Amino acid sequence: MAQLEQLQSKRELFFKNELPSAGGVVGATPQSPAVGTTAASTALPASAVGGGVSGATSAPAAPTPSAIKEALAAKRAASERAAAAAAAHAAAAAAAANAAENNAEDNKERYSKVERDKVPERRTKELDGYVGFANLPNQVYRKAVKRGFDFTLMVVGESGLGKSTLINSMFLADIYSNEYPGPSQRIKKTLQVETSKVLLKENGVNLTLTVVDTPGFGYAVDNSNCWQPIIDFVETKYEEFLNAESRVNRKTVLDNRVHCCLYFIGPSGHGLKPLDIEFMQRLHDKVNIIPVIAKSDTLTPDECAHFKKQILNEISQHKIKIYEFPDTEDEEESKVNKVLKDRVPFAVVGSNTVIEVDGKKVRGRKYPWGIAEVENLEHCDFIALRNMLIRTHLQDLKDVTNNVHYENYRCRKLAGLGTDGKPTRISNKNPLAQMEEEKRDHETKMKKMETEMEQVFEMKVREKKQKLKDSETDLQRRHEQMRRALEQQIKDLEDKRNEFEKEKQMWEQSNGVTLEDLRRRSLEANSKETVDGKEKNKKKKGLF
Amino acid sequence: MAAVEVDRARVEASIRNLKLSGHVGFDSLPDQLVNKSVQNGFVFNILCIGETGLGKSTLMDSLFNTSFESTPSPHNLPTVKLKAHTYELQESNVRLKLTICDTVGYGDQINKEDSFKAVVDYIDAQFEAYLQEELKIKRSLSAYHDSRTHVCLYFICPTGHGLKSIDLVCMKKLDTKVNIIPIIAKADTISKTELQKFKSKINSELASNGVHVYQFPTDDESVAEVNTSMNAHVPFAVVGSTDFVRVGNKMMRSRQYPWGTVQVENESHCDFVKLREMLIRTNMEDMREKTHNRHYELYRKKRLEQMGFTDVDSDNKPVSFQQTFEAKRSNHLQELQQKEDEMRQMFVVKVKEKEAELKEAEKDLHNKFDKLKKEHGEEKRRLEDSRKKLEDEIIEFNRRKQQFQQQHMSSSHHTLTLGKSKKK
């Protein structure tokens, strides 16, 4: 409990130290009298005496306990002073009034602070007073501590390079011991990938550390594809995470992905081996790789520098992307960081034994000619590696794994099944939305097709109809023609008949005899003639 | 993929608890995490539901000690609309992207049945947007501006008699979607005793209707005490003000009446300070977390099930997202193909029909003309017949005429002779 409170206070001070406040009174966590304030004010170590008013603007790189004490002291002093001043003013010496005056001081400070802070971005709204969301980081802090942290570290390297020793030295715990031997002790016939989980606690922070090691790496005569089981392992973890993330019923997803891979380079002094290059080339886009020069107490400083340069050259030559420690915004911090960053790749020495040097107990390796201290920056880069890896960038390693490597994997995995087997350009929509869009596209396509077909259809129908009509009119015309011709003929005939009739009548009238009579007579005559036809004829002839 | 031989025994072994023999330094982990999140900035989204004129905008101004541009809304809007504005605030070195969403026209309509529909739709739309982003192939969740509503402040009318039915209905619909904090608005119209009765009435109504309002978390020791005591004060009776009145030697937010001045930040006058503490200073992060872990997960689950995804297929074997998606996709493509084929088919049939029709018409036409032709032919023959007849008649006539002429000439001679004989 007290630890937590201490953490809390450290937390709040961390932010307070960033303020350019005058007199040490700060607006980040102002004292609101009525509400139970956070443990900070109550847990102030009683020993904090009104010492010098320094410390408020101390370098916040890593709030060392001494700085905290000073700042706390300053705050206490300042608040006491404020209270005293208030007491001096106040006519009504009621406690409430005091508290209110205190608030007034605070308010004044805050107002002036806000005045000073009037270089805000144009978009940012200015606050006229205390709101309180500056406490948000504290809330996040509390929740994070409660949740606990986890981290998965992979160590890869040939047997005998001191991997287990280094891990033990880094975490100051017997992760590898006689009961749990290190990878070099466990080499089997084929390359294995094995994990061990340990729970470490420090100052109230719980860290579940998973160490992944690869016994047998580079051990065989033919080491082709010895990286394959490792790649498979990394991708299996990604796949597990992806599946867990994609479930319908999601519980808290356990993060077992590999966050960092320490690759151990043998201290040959000459450069990278082909196996090193192959491995890093294949894994640099799947996991954060931090190359480490192992057993560097066999290299003199010059050889070490030369070796490092060589390695960096080869790395850039082969376009290997090792993990880059990012810069922080804070200037002082980044200065410190830069010094450490320049030591990449870290040349480390590890040790499980503690030796006494100048009365101090240090971890080191005892040689006849001296003692190589592990935690001495002049002897090796162990401190640099530990600080960069654990104290400053552990969270960043996790973030990069989550945001970059995992997303890449996910992209590859999902895009692979989105399109029909062809690795085409990855459309930046989620697959379901894509399906919806495809449906819509298809519908419009179908509509278009439909209208097109309709058009063609109509056109053809019209054509055919037109043709039919034409032939109809044509036939009609011809028929008309023929009809007219016929009618003309009929008319002609009529006329002719009329003429004939007229002629006949005229003749009949003029001769007073009708054709009928003549016909009758001829018939009679014919009948007589049939009796003596010749005579008649002769008779007729005789007359004339 | 080659099978990975993981040492099962080792993995499944219990996690070992180890003691550290020195200071490693990972106790800075929370700091690292916090630094990162401060760098990224924080996001918080508030939704204010309440009738027009209850003082929502004024309360927001008071809570965040600034003045957000807001125009008072009219009372005659036909439907409820939601207006959201995003502001960037900064306090010390903490940047907050605050989105305040207001319901405009809530409770003004005569028929309020659809009032909360707009609100539910808005909340669902934010969840949907996040879900879509999460399901994308190429996604950037860390850079995504989270617009999901983290807290809903429900403004209750200070009638003194309990909740209105629309309040109950609305809160019931929203309590599984968003963290609800009920607030008694314009609390300076209620006296202390009336307030107690009012609060207990509200709480009993909420409980009897099964409405789950947001409970401040009591599992974290450092804030458990404060949160438990605050939980007893819910719903908070608040007063907001944009006017400042000089009290002592400083300006305080207050409302000035002839009979006295209500100070917003005075705890004995109203619960404003409590609300601010709970909402902003102590539980903002928890509300954000609950929205993400509980409400959003619920929405996501429902939505995925709606779309047909399950974790377990019919044989009770676990089914992965990809499998379901593949199946869906092939179904989907099949469907599309089928639709296309159907349409084509339909067209083919249509064309055939029309062709048959036209052929019929053509045949009819030909028939008609054949008939006409035949008629014509008939007529012609008839004409020919008549002509022939006429010609025959003419010929006969001419013959007879000739015959007659001949006869006539001879007979006329004959007559002459007779005449002549008589005369003798």
Give me the pLDDT at residue A220, please. 79
A161 by Cβ neighbours in 10 Å (0-12 / 13-18 / 19+) ranks as: buried
Asked if B132 has any chain A CB less than 8 Å from its own CB, the reply is yes
Give me the pLDDT at residue A124, please. 67
What is the C-alpha to C-alpha distance for residues A21 and A10, in angstroms, rounded to an integer? 18
Q: Which residues pair with A264 in a beta bridge?
A: A292
* Amino acid letter, residue A278: E
Residue B153 near residue B183 (C-beta atoms within 8 A): yes
What is the C-alpha to C-alpha distance for residues B403 and A514, in angstroms, rounded to an integer? 13
Write out the H or E segment, with its range, that includes residue B387: helix B321-423
- Is the pLDDT at B219 greater than 50? The verdict is yes
Asked if B118 has any chain A CB less than 8 Å from its own CB, the reply is no
- Is the pLDDT at B12 greater than 60? The verdict is no
Q: Please, which residues have CB within 8 angstroms of residue B79's CB and are 6 or more apart in sequence?
A: B105, B109, B114, B118
What is the C-alpha to C-alpha distance for residues B161 and B159, in angstroms, rounded to an integer? 5
CA distances to A493, A503, A505, A516, A518 from A499, in Å:
10, 6, 10, 19, 20
Distance from CA of B156 to the nearest CA of A (A): 24
Give me the pLDDT at residue B364, please. 87
- Strand pairing category for B244-247 and B236-237: unpaired
Distance from CA of A534 to the nearest CA of B (A): 16
Give me the pLDDT at residue A88, please. 39
Q: pLDDT band for B325, please (50, 70, 90 cuts).
A: low
Query: Looking at beta carbons, which residues of chain A come within 8 Å of B96?
Result: 133, 136
ipTM of the complex: 0.71
- Is the pLDDT at B5 greater than 50? The verdict is no
Query: Looking at beta carbons, which residues of chain B come within 8 Å of A246?
Result: 320-322
Residue A233 near residue A212 (C-beta atoms within 8 A): yes
Higher-confidence residue of A459 and A100: namely A459
Query: Looking at beta carbons, which residues of chain A come within 8 Å of B380?
Result: 486
Q: Which residues pair with A193 in a beta bridge?
A: B6
Q: pLDDT band for A252, please (50, 70, 90 cuts).
A: confident
Q: pLDDT band for B403, please (50, 70, 90 cuts).
A: confident
Higher-confidence residue of B8 and A285: namely A285
Give me the pLDDT at residue A416, please. 66
Higher-confidence residue of B121 and A417: namely B121
Tens digits of residue pLDDT in A120-144: 333 566 666 778 888 888 888 888 8
Query: Looking at beta carbons, which residues of chain B come within 8 Å of A384?
Result: none
Tens digits of residue pLDDT in A13-35: 444 443 333 333 333 333 333 33
Q: pLDDT band for B365, please (50, 70, 90 cuts).
A: confident
Give me the pLDDT at residue A121, please. 36
Average pLDDT, chain A: 72
Q: State the CB neighbour count (10 A cutoff) for residue A63.
A: 19
- Is the pLDDT at A389 greater than 50? The verdict is yes
Mean pLDDT of B36-54: 88
207-266 in chain A: CB under 8 A from chain B: 207-208, 228-229, 232-233, 235-236, 243, 246-250, 252
Q: pLDDT band for B413, please (50, 70, 90 cuts).
A: low
Give me the pLDDT at residue B295, please. 92
Residue B25 near residue A391 (C-beta atoms within 8 A): yes
Mean pLDDT of B121-149: 86
B/e letters for A247-261, b = 16+ CB within 10 Å, e = fewer, are bbeeeeeebbbbbbb
Give me the pLDDT at residue A100, please. 39
Tens digits of residue pLDDT in A259-277: 999 999 998 888 888 888 9
Tens digits of residue pLDDT in A89-116: 433 333 333 333 344 444 444 433 433 3
What is the C-alpha to C-alpha distance for residues A277 and A283, in angstroms, rounded to an integer? 10
Tens digits of residue pLDDT in A322-354: 888 887 767 777 788 888 888 888 999 988 888
